[in-house]
């Protein structure tokens, strides 16, 4: 079996930096491969604006704000089109303010699916969306029932992380992660530690065909509409892992099997912010330039530094937000290049 099925991660994930022009602007991704994004996460680096998330399943001009519990909005001046190698933004200051600097993180799914649960016998709640089994990523839309149920996610592998948001009313973002388990959950829009509930993920681990929800409005309110971003590990491309901090500047090393291009870290046993790092905003080790997904704040240089290495990442700080002694953390990471390609040849180390 090949080490990885994704020799070029830029087919499925790319980071793009751009500067706003205050008008309409077509943003072209500058990776080595054309990639039509299905999920675009936009953030002003230089100004305090909310993170805006768009996807091809819900459609253009419909932002969700990952640092807020607000319902889905309508913004004719936000992301207005998905292109064959990028996207178009309007004149909204939060996505294209003149002279402001921005980052966009872009993921590809690409294959549409729809599941009538009663007809197929897969799950109990109807779902539809876009999926890439190769990249281990699907985008799902559905309507809640307020009763425990199961939802087809479109992948053929078991999800490791699920990010869920109610669309038509105010509600926090619910997060499932395999390393905190099916009896607990996190919220993306706040720095809270993990919490326990039997009615969020119904105390049930996802399978290779469905994931479970309980009666909680966080994930399954009656007649509420939801979007789910569902991820599984793909060797050499993506990793949804965990680690225990050592409280030392010679910090914990996390093996991913690839050189990361993008990493989000969250402490789970204590209230601390989410942190996101990437190799476009900070091009040399140690990486120190961060954004907090759970705040609208600007980009900043942090003392929570880390190195992106050829096969993982290593903490270079004793800061409690990312490396407290005995602290428990989860991360989601996507590759710049795999440690070994599909032919068994090691890629160049950094």
Domain identity same for 195 and 260: no
Instruction: Choose the final residue of a domain: 107, 133, 154.
Output: 107
Give the percent of the chain with pLDDT over 70. Answer: 96
Tens of pLDDT, residues 108-133: 999 999 999 999 999 999 999 999 99
Q: Which spans in 192-232 are helix H?
A: 217-220
Domain identity same for 69 and 149: no
Domain identity same for 154 and 218: yes
The pLDDT of 147-164, averaged and rounded, is 98
Q: What is the pTM of this model?
A: 0.96
Domain identity same for 284 and 213: no
Evaluate whether 76 touches 60 at the Cβ level (below 8 Å).
Answer: no
Domain identity same for 207 and 120: yes
With respect to residue 50, please indicate whether it lies within any of the assigned structural domains. yes
Domain identity same for 101 and 188: no
With respect to residue 345, please indicate whether it lies within any of the assigned structural domains. no
The domain tally of the chain equals 3
Question: Is it the case that residue 349 has pLDDT exceeding 50?
Answer: no
With respect to residue 346, please indicate whether it lies within any of the assigned structural domains. no
Evaluate whether 133 touches 156 at the Cβ level (below 8 Å).
Answer: yes
With respect to residue 247, please indicate whether it lies within any of the assigned structural domains. yes
Domain identity same for 101 and 121: no
Mean pLDDT over the full length of the chain: 96
Return the structure tokens found at 266.
């969250």
Question: Is it the case that residue 183 has pLDDT exceeding 90?
Answer: yes
Domain identity same for 211 and 128: yes
DSSP state letters, 160-190: SEEEEEESSS--PPEEEETTT-TTEEEETTS
pLDDT at 2: 58
Domain identity same for 116 and 89: no
Domain identity same for 248 and 292: yes
Tens of pLDDT, residues 222-263: 999 999 999 999 999 999 999 999 999 999 999 999 999 999
With respect to residue 298, please indicate whether it lies within any of the assigned structural domains. yes
The pLDDT of 189-217, averaged and rounded, is 98
Task: Identify the band that residue 329 occupies on the pLDDT scale cut at 50, 70 and 90.
Answer: very high
Domain span at residue 197 reads 112-231
The pLDDT of 308-325, averaged and rounded, is 97
Burial 262-288 (b: 16+ CB within 10 A, else e): bbbbbbbeeebbbbbbbbbbbeebebb
Question: Is it the case that residue 341 has pLDDT exceeding 70?
Answer: no
Tens of pLDDT, residues 264-286: 999 999 999 999 999 999 999 99
pLDDT at 342: 59
Residue written as token pair 């290049």: 337
Instruction: Choose the final residue of a domain: 177, 200, 231.
Output: 231
pLDDT at 344: 59
CA distance 40 to 332: 16
pLDDT at 31: 85
Instruction: Choose the final residue of a domain: 231, 260, 294.
Output: 231
Domain identity same for 334 and 242: yes
Torsion-angle region of 235 (φ positive above 0: left; ψ -120 to 50: alpha; else: beta): beta
Domain identity same for 34 and 139: no
Residue 50 sits in a domain whose CATH number is: 2.60.320
Supply the DSSP symbol for 45: S
With respect to residue 76, please indicate whether it lies within any of the assigned structural domains. yes
Pick 4 or 155 by higher pLDDT.
155
Burial 147-159 (b: 16+ CB within 10 A, else e): ebbbbbbbbebbb
With respect to residue 280, please indicate whether it lies within any of the assigned structural domains. yes
Return the structure tokens found at 268.
């789970």
The pLDDT of 144-148, averaged and rounded, is 98
With respect to residue 152, please indicate whether it lies within any of the assigned structural domains. yes
């Amino acid at each position: 079996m090949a080490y990885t099925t994704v020799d070029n991660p830029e087919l499925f994930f790319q980071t793009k930096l751009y500067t706003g022009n205050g008008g309409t602007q077509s943003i072209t991704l500058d990776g080595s491969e054309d990639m039509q994004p299905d999920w675009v996460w936009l953030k002003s680096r230089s100004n305090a604006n909310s993170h805006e998330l768009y996807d091809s399943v819900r459609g253009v001009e419909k932002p969700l704000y990952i640092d807020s519990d607000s319902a889905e909005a309508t913004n004719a001046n936000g992301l207005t089109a998905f292109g064959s190698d990028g996207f178009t933004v309007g004149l909204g200051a939060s996505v294209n303010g003149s002279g402001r600097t921005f980052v966009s993180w872009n993921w590809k799914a690409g294959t549409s699916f729809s599941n009538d649960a009663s007809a197929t016998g897969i799950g109990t709640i109807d779902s539809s969306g876009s999926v890439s089994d190769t990249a281990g990523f699907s985008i799902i839309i559905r309507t809640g029932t307020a009763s425990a149920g199961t939802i087809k996610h479109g992948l053929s592998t078991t999800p490791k992380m699920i990010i869920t948001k109610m669309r038509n009313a105010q509600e926090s973002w619910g997060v499932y992660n395999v390393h905190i388990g099916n009896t607990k959950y996190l919220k993306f829009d706040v720095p809270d530690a993990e919490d326990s509930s039997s009615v969020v993920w119904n105390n049930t681990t996802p399978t290779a065909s469905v994931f479970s929800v309980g009666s909680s409005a966080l994930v399954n309110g009656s007649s509420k509409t939801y979007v789910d971003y569902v991820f599984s590990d793909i060797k050499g491309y993506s990793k949804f892992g965990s680690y225990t901090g050592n409280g030392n500047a010679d910090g914990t090393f996390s093996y991913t099997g690839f050189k990361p291009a993008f990493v989000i870290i969250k402490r789970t046993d204590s209230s601390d912010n989410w942190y996101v790092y990437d190799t476009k905003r900070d091009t040399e080790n140690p990486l120190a330039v961060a954004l907090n997904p759970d705040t609208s704040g600007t980009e900043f240089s942090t003392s929570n530094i880390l190195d992106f290495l050829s096969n993982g990442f290593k903490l270079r700080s004793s800061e409690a937000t990312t490396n407290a002694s005995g602290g428990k953390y989860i991360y989601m990471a996507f590759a710049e290049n795999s440690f070994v390609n599909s032919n068994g040849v090691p890629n160049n180390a950094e």
